Amino acid sequence: MGGLSMDQAFVQAPEHRPKAVLAEAAGVPLIDLSPLAAADDDAAGLEALAAEVGKASKDWGFFVVVRHGVPEEKVARALEAQRAFFALPADRKAALRRDEGAPLGYYESEHTKNVRDWKEVFDLVPREPPPPAAVADGELVFQNKWPEDDLPGFRAAFEEYAEAMEELAFKLLELIARSLGLRPDRMHGFFGDDQTTFIRLNHYPPCPSPDLALGVGRHKDAGALTILYQDDVGGLDVKRRSDGEWVRVKPVQDSFIVNVGDIIQVWSNDRYESAEHRVSVNSDKERFSMPYFFNPGSSAMVEPLEELVSDESPARYRAYNWGNFFSTRKNSNFRKLDVENVQIAHFRKDLPVA
């Protein structure tokens, strides 16, 4: 990918191009998760932590977590495996290229909002479904493409990383449930063995025109939670809710960045809102990141949770099937569309104006 010239496919419309200097996002909440380790002995600390997560989800849709309990060595092994993969020759990466029917593996021409992203990616799922006996036309096949011949330790590194991420994801889900006044495991049932959770490895090479292109264009995450590891280069920009300005999320050592996705927005009936974000690139440093997209099972129907709906606060969304929604979003990554991708706004109910 590094040899690509600034093809027009990468050029953002003038109103979406990044500014040369962005303010750092002072105020993105930094949350210490260590009270989780003492949860049995410190109920008040746990409630205070849940309230902190709830406030961050409401005000920003984003927060940074430290002392999160994920072993440092698991993150280091995953990062080393990621760097080794993207350092492979182009033909070895291309041998693992994904396609429309099998959307896992390597890809270097993804589109966000119909503009090509300045990045290359590798997608994998923590839980592979059993091979289908027969695949219906148009059905996606989620089987991992492991680079076992080139990188024998790659699979083990990501299997253990995924396990640690799932543990953290369920803890965060419980904090969000508590913050909404729900029982801690209220949302667990949506994340069974058929969950569509996936891990993406991102590599953003140096870009000759970082003022024209983006590593990932502006978007909101469609799933429930995203837990992101980013290196120390920086480049994640979040749209600040208070004034609509783009601000840079500063890398914090040994941290993860968490953002609530559209599903949490729907479940919470708009109490929490997923945040628009993007990735800027630079002309002299490559950047690596690893988002873990925590998604429910493909059979899940997504709608506001009944405990959060009342006569005073009616449901703001119609129910939609997550599997169908997810497949539609995945397919659009492969080609430029004449219309914007499916969004949760398409399922909003018409509410009377207050």
Averages of pLDDT over runs of 10 residues in the chain (354 residues) are 55 64 70 83 85 95 94 96 96 89 82 77 84 52 87 95 96 97 95 89 87 81 95 88 85 94 96 90 90 92 95 93 79 46 75 46
93-99 LR contacts (CB < 8 Å, sep 24+): 93/120, 93/122, 96/122, 96/145, 96/147, 98/123, 98/145, 99/334
Dist CA 261 CA 223 (whole Å): 5
Dist CA 317 CA 46 (whole Å): 31
pLDDT on residue 180:
97
Sign of the CA dihedral 206, 211, 216, 220?
positive
pLDDT on residue 58:
94
pLDDT on residue 2:
43
Confirm if 157 and 80 have CB atoms less than 8 A apart: yes
Q: pTM for the whole thing?
A: 0.88
pLDDT on residue 10:
64
pLDDT on residue 23:
61
Q: Which residues pair with 288 in a beta bridge?
A: 203
pLDDT on residue 354:
42
pLDDT on residue 108:
86
* Tokens found for residue 324: 């169908």
Dist CA 98 CA 107 (whole Å): 6
- Which domains can be identified in the chain, with CATH numbers? 27-347 (2.60.120.330)
The stretches of 144-273 forming alpha helices (DSSP H) are 154-179, 262-267
Confirm if 123 and 200 have CB atoms less than 8 A apart: yes
